[in-house]
Amino acid sequence: MAHIKFDSSKLSKFVHDNELGQMQALVTAADTELREGTGAGNDFRGFIDLPVDYDKDEFARIKAAAKKIQSDSEVFVAIGIGGSYLGARMAVDFLSHTFRNYEPGRKLPEVYFAGNSISGSYLADLIDMIGDRDFSLNVISKSGTTTEPSIAFRILKAKLIAKYGEAGAKGRIYATTDRAKGALKTESDAQGYEEFVVPDDIGGRYSVLSAVGLLPIAVAGGDIDELMHGAADARSEYSDADLSKNEAYQYAAYRNILYRKGYTTELLENYEPTLQYLSEWWKQLMGESEGKDEKGIYPSSANFSTDLHSLGQYIQEGLRNLMETVVWVEQPNHDLTIPVEAGSQDGLAYLENRKMSEVNRKAYEGVVLAHLDGGVPVMTVSIPKQDAYTLGYLIYFFEAAVAISGYLNGINPFNQPGVESYKRNMFALLGRPGYEEMTKELNARL
């Protein structure tokens, strides 16, 4: 039995009983493309077996490096963008105290992220936050030339050298990069940084269970053994193409059924603030995998009940192109009882002595019913709790689903050709060598 549960029972108003079965032949074909490597992007299917086929020696080195960083650093900065950032950020938030960096009695390093923007203000504030405390860096880039992390690394490396000297700084830089080539690989070899590998057969948005995500997660105190255990069990659970048995594939199939009926935007929703970055990771996974050839479901997100007070009106009565997927936590990390307050005028007497988890649950149930009445299909992925095993399982659920979903829609779910367009324009406008003719053209348009 699956560790997490996919609930499609609220789709009866939108999907006929026979429609899922009619998707079986397409799903079987998509599964064959994925498993046998006959589909587009077949060089990037390494995520399928990663939970059992990872480098065990490197995994041990990751745990050893994390312990060293925990012992010698008060602050740890992971430098990366996109798939080199969102997975780790998502996992650290998912597995930690809501206010992790300020948690009373915390003994582990504060964890921050850089290289995910080109904001000088952000980096300056981060440098102020580090102050004169001991810190270490993990720079994550397959090429070593991605603009945002390269700028951040150069600036933070200078601070590291100023504090520890050239030799001391080298022992506090951890590089996660290509196995054999690239600017960061060349620098790491020359300087003697400890190195970890971005796998050749795994794209950035699928890479959280590799060294890309594992080192920051381990430094933050996450149990990466249990993370991989959960993903390995999910790999077994979601290996059968039979839609009656594979809920990850059911999710992919229902998304495509709804997409073909005009539900072109999907909102991933949660009721726990520590799941906000799960949505951000999911948006890259879905958007970069499916948004091609003028096709694809647009991924968006909402954090409830907070966003019910800003987006709720649109979801209820706006353009009817929305579908919703809720990630629901059955057992929250903590719970509180609403106290009795005699004579209060806040209207909460009927909630006194009730748990906040109960109120949150009823909010979720009430929202589902309202949105169904408003013409919005709602699916739910229920997870038992927020622990490392569950997160590994959930990561694999979404990765398997989007790979199948991409093939169902006739696209390559593993490439991302469109993201290069803005980079070329930016390089030209900044005067990067080799872009002279393009610079003239763009300046004329501006």
Q: Is 288 a catalytic residue?
A: yes
The DSSP letter of residue 324 is E
On whether the CB atoms of residues 214 and 62 are closer than 8 A, the answer is yes
Tell me if domain 5-39+228-408 and domain 47-222 are identical in fold.
Answer: yes
Q: Is 19 a catalytic residue?
A: no
The reported pLDDT for the residue numbered 63 is 98
- Find, among 366, 379, 258, 380, the residue nearest to 321 by Cα: 258
The reported pLDDT for the residue numbered 229 is 98
SS3 51: coil
What residues of the chain score a pLDDT lower than 70?
A: none
pTM of the model: 0.96
* Separation between Cα atoms, residue 216 and residue 407, nearest integer Å: 32
Task: Specify burial of residue 407 (Cβ count, 10 A radius: 0-12, 13-18, 19+).
Answer: buried
The reported pLDDT for the residue numbered 439 is 77
Residue found by looking up tokens 């748990």 in the block = 355
Residues in CB range of 319: below 8 A, 6 or more apart: none
Residues in CB range of 150: below 8 A, 6 or more apart: 115, 141, 144
On whether the CB atoms of residues 363 and 356 are closer than 8 A, the answer is no
Max Cα separation, the chain? 75
Can you state the angle between helices 276-290 and 86-95, rounded to 10 degrees?
150
Give the start-to-end residue ranges of the domains of the chain. Answer: 5-39+228-408, 47-222
CATH class for the region spanning 47-222: alpha beta
The reported pLDDT for the residue numbered 425 is 83
* Separation between Cα atoms, residue 227 and residue 388, nearest integer Å: 5
Structure tokens at 149: 């992390």
Q: Which residue in 148, 288, 290, 324 is the catalytic one?
A: 288
Beta strands in 377-420 (DSSP E): 378-383
Query: Which amino acid belongs to residue 217?
Result: I
* Separation between Cα atoms, residue 189 and residue 279, nearest integer Å: 36
CA distances from 436 to 147, 297, 375 (A): 19, 37, 52
Report, at the CATH architecture level, how domain 5-39+228-408 is classified. 3-Layer(aba) Sandwich (3.40)
The reported pLDDT for the residue numbered 416 is 86
Q: How many residues belong to the chain?
A: 446
What is the end-to-end Cα distance of the chain in Å, rounded?
58
Q: Which residue in 295, 385, 423, 440 is the catalytic one?
A: 423
On whether the CB atoms of residues 270 and 276 are closer than 8 A, the answer is yes
The DSSP letter of residue 340 is P
The reported pLDDT for the residue numbered 446 is 82
